[in-house]
Structure 1
Amino acid sequence: MSTITLSKESHKNPEKFRIKYEDADAVLGPKKVIKKDESLPVKESYSKVTIIGAGFGGITTALSIIKNLGCDFKIFEKHDDLGGTWYANTYPGCASDIPAIWYSIFDEMVTNWSDSRPPQYEMQEYMQEIVKKYKLKESCYLSTQVVEARYMEKSAEWQVESWDLKTGQKITHRSKILVNCSGGLVVPNVFKPKGMETFKGNYMHSAIWDHSVDFKGKQVIVVGNGCSAAQVVPALLDYEPKSIVQTIRSQHYIFPPHPKFLYFLYWLLGWNRIGLVMVRWLVAVVAESRYPMFAGNGIINRIMRWVNTRASLRYMKKTIPEKYHDIVIPKFKIGCKRLIFDYYYAPALRDKRIDVKLDEITEVKPHSVVLKSGIELPADIIVACTGYNITQSMNPYHIIGRDGFDLNQTWKEEGQSAYETILVKKCPNFFMVPGPNSATGHSSVVLAIENCAKYFSLVAPKILNGEIKSLEVKSEKYEEWFSTTQDLLRKSVFGTAFGGCVSWYSNDKVNPTAYPYSQITYFRRMRNVKWQDFNIER
């Protein structure tokens, strides 16, 4: 366990810590194409473990292997550098909404964050410090798109088929263990109303930001009002637009910014590891105290919802202009949608250049957008803060398990799930860090990642040392987990009829996103491997 002190170079040269627009669009954009040159020889390689994805999940898994397993591994990453979300998402105002002291790896905490919620480029600088410290690039295939992973039953190995996006060369890689760290918020939701192809101005999704676009004097349309939009809208004011019209379809509960006392406490105690741990656990305890408001309808649940609803509404009504109250203040239960911890959005709505409309864009014309109400708005730039396609993000490549089992097709028919958020049926020696149902409405996703990495480090040694040839969760235990978690989540507020809203937490079939228990339970379960729930081949 150690600490990291950042140089803050990212504040001087933020462009060095973000992906180029052309590269992001080529990999994530609607016209993305995998370059394939069949004339080049197939490159073949092998490692004990394969990691797919190089964001927090991939990096944390790699550190777990280095510190606990001591075997070789290979990381496949579609971007040209490591960092995942914090390398690819570079929109103005992009920052962690969870305090960085908690939104970071426990073994690699930072002594000098610039703020309790630092900007994107500082988060990426942190990721790069870890990458350099452990020389992770030496174990990477960068700019490489995985298209298929297939379990080879005779050898009990996974074969990964991928393509080098720069050269078009095919790469075939084998390993004993496959770890999927692709992440859930990766593939942008396509914004494509009628006539979008006729638009003559600039268009961009918040997840694929073009920093060359000049906003000065322009009429800007921002679509959406989730966490990304709450950061983008106030940040765009610094670019001197003529106007910003935000079109929204629903509301979100907005909380006040993190108290300044938190950063003061971090500054006071964070000069050594003991102090960092104390502040980190304080943040975790305060956040975890919100858990009951998500879970059900008992007296404690109702009290916690009332307390947090009151705090949010007090802040919104005090800060947001009264003319927007009916537009932006929710009427559903708190927690049904992702909570927004504000910094600048609510006060920014007082700026005369901003307007908010509870309306939907039904048509785009060359220089304007038409709303469902019939209003036509002039537009020079359209910014889509429309979130991510969770289903596609969790299915970034084809996964074939034992006896030709098609995981992608099974998830399409039954709904996405993973036993204890990490294992799927009929896929031996396959782990997800993190998998479906690992997110929360109040906690740090890095905690979920660390929980899964811990579970992986407890199970993997028996496979790597040859004691076990293959291990997979029993189908009945997978189904039992799926049934139990979905029953619990239907009684929660996460995008349910009980919660009173439609949310990205859930789709028409299941909730593949939210964790149904407390984070204390998650922490405990990930350290208690139930070997009797597995089919083990000696």
Structure 2
Amino acid sequence: MADFKIPVDTRPDDQAAKRLGGPIHAERHIDIICVGAGASGLLMAYKLQRHFSNFTLTVFEKNPEVSGTWYENKYPGCACDVPSHNYTWSFEPKLDWSGVYSGSKEIYKYFETFSNKYGLRKYIKTEHIVTGAYWNKASGGYNVKVKDIKSNREFKQHCDIFINASGILNNWRWPAIPGLDKYKGELLHTANWDDSVDLKGKHIGLIGNGSSGIQVLPQVQTIASKVTNFIREPTWVSPVMGLEQHVFSEDEKKDFATKPGVLTEYRKGIERGLNGQFGIFLKDTKPNKDTHAYMLKQMKLKLGNKYLEEKLIPDWSVGCRRMTPGVNYLESLTKENVKVVYGEINEITDKGPLCEDNVEYPVDILICATGFDTTFKPRFPLIGPNGDNLQEIWGKEPESYWGMGAADFPNYMIFLGPNSPIGNGPVLSAIEAQADYMLKWIDRYQTYNINTFAPTHDAINDFIAHKDEFMKRSVWADPCRSWYKAGGPEGKITALWPGSTLHYIEALMDLRVEDWDVKYNGNRFAYLGNGYSRTELDPTADWGYYIRETDDDGPIARNKKLRLINKSGTIAVASTANFVFQTKEDSKSRAHL
């Protein structure tokens, strides 16, 4: 065999590479601004830091601390309605949750610890509120107007890519009841709680029976002289959401921390159950019918009062409004010091609510558990290249691309935007999928010479048409009043994804570039650069990396690839069955490992 001489290294030096434009997929520097340092904003900062280089990130947070809604919400009983060990990032478990449903302070601590552990504070400017974002026609990207709350100074900062992680259950509001400003007692909102107000021995008025009201009542009932709960409509209160409340023992925490696989399998078991509940939300399915029968029986059992049963148990399907695990809520409604007033509040007098029964209900303290502005409109003017304001466009009905993008607003991405899976199953796993999808676009933008990218009108119109048709089969289409909808009980469902959370995760695994309007800086193939691969410019890389002894490639076909990812064939079918309908004893046995 003839001798073969290896050719000399002909790679250009750094200066030559720059003159020639760099190799294929050269990474240009990008400036990114993110609004909000809650869960989504912190995750984006973490993932950018972990996966990217040659970028600048600024996260503007209006609060003095990170963690968003979990920093803000401090009312008695405030907790997450998802089991604690599954209200964490998939890759970042917490070993020492106090109980199955942990309070807001503990959840806040989880996200604060996450921020500190990975050094994310260097990207975050707290007490800075974004007041506007305006497309820069000359250079592309957005000029973002920001107010420094401490100094009251306003300034502008430019970014190539603008990410809105301000959240959906974060912008609290007072109820639109006439005369609220006339009330002379102590006025509180659950999302703007004042710990200095003493509730002990007082007559408390509580407006609302949504998630916050359901959590507040059991806490204040035990210390108040009387509680009057003003409820304008029925709701399904879940006695069991897979697991009853349970406080973890020190032995359990020790097992979680020291026994390999124990915590992971516990978390997976709950996640499988949460992901197994989607059938509940489809009309006339067995899971829907079984859940309805089960919850009806449980609510009647816990209420034991014909009047309360008549007023509080809905005619519409289970799941039309968000189901909330009512730990001691239904029992609290039956206590001697609790009165339920059903119907509309016509106005608030200086003494308390005046209701449609023409009775005035004087109270010492009035708590508004009345929720948030869930219209999906940006909280600041967002002006696109055509001069349009997304606030106005989304004023009546928000229409997004898969909850993450808006037509005619390039380089703008949203966490938990319209029609995201926020009530379809585990939500933090959906946020992770959104972050990964955004990072794929950021990678393309950085390495493909892209100037702008935005979802097309055609893609959004087709998605909305599919979503609307799908929703006709869902319980969400029932005539209930819900923040899932725009325009009242009969309105379109604008908050939820047309499928399960697992369905959403699979949909987001790959970019559908064909759904996006992509424009380039000059020639779309300029990213090919100087003809060199990135491999050739790396002296430590193997220039023959594709030569091997066997075909060890992973699957290319989507379904085969998915079966590897989801570990198909490793789980017994029975292990996830009937998660919703566990007995109390079975729930406790799971909680006790």
1:511 is matched with 493
- Is 1:489 equivalent to 2:471 in the alignment? yes
Closer, same or farther: CA 427–269 of 1 in aligned 2, 3 Å: farther
1:199 is matched with 183
1:457 is matched with 439
1:525 is matched with 507
Shift of 1:442: 4.6
Shift of 1:461: 0.8
- Is 1:247 equivalent to 2:233 in the alignment? no
1:337 is matched with 321
Contact 1:253–1:330 under 8 Å retained in 2: yes
Same amino acid, percent of matched pairs: 24
1:372 is matched with 356
Pair member with larger Rg:
2
Cα shift readout 1:464-516 (whole Å, capped 9, x = no counterpart):
2353222111221122112221232243222x3xx232211102253221111
Q: How many pairs were matched up?
A: 483
Shift of 1:431: 0.9
Deviates more, 1:198-207 or 1:394-403: 394-403
2:244 is matched with 259
Q: Which amino acid aligns with 1:259?
A: E
1:82 is aligned, of 54, 60, 66, to: 66
Shift of 1:519: 1.4
Contact 2:274–2:426 under 8 Å retained in 1: no
2:269 is matched with 282
In the TM superposition, 1:20-419 aligns within 5 A as 48-70=31-53, 71-238=55-222, 240-257=223-240, 258-259=243-244, 267=253, 270-271=256-257, 274-297=261-284, 301=285, 303-323=286-306, 324-391=308-375, 394-413=377-396, 415-419=397-401
Shift of 1:269: 5.7
1:502 is matched with 481
Closer, same or farther: CA 309–161 of 1 in aligned 2, 3 Å: same
Contact 1:91–1:209 under 8 Å retained in 2: yes
Shift of 1:207: 0.9
Give the gaps of 5 or more residues in structure 1: 1-45
Deviates more, 1:332-341 or 1:275-284: 275-284
Cα shift readout 1:330-360 (whole Å, capped 9, x = no counterpart):
2211111110112121222232111112122
Closer, same or farther: CA 273–396 of 1 in aligned 2, 3 Å: farther
Deviates more, 1:437-446 or 1:377-386: 437-446
Deviates more, 1:370-379 or 1:88-97: 370-379
Cα shift readout 1:40-67 (whole Å, capped 9, x = no counterpart):
xxxxxx9621110111111111111111
Q: Which amino acid aligns with 1:247?
A: F
Contact 2:178–2:348 under 8 Å retained in 1: yes
Give the gaps of 5 or more residues in structure 2: 1-28, 521-593
Contact 1:150–1:401 under 8 Å retained in 2: yes
TM-score, structure 1 as length reference: 0.85
Shift of 1:187: 2.1
Shift of 1:125: 0.7
TM-score, structure 2 as length reference: 0.78
**C-alpha distance in structure 1 between counterparts of 2:324 and 2:404, whole Å:** 27
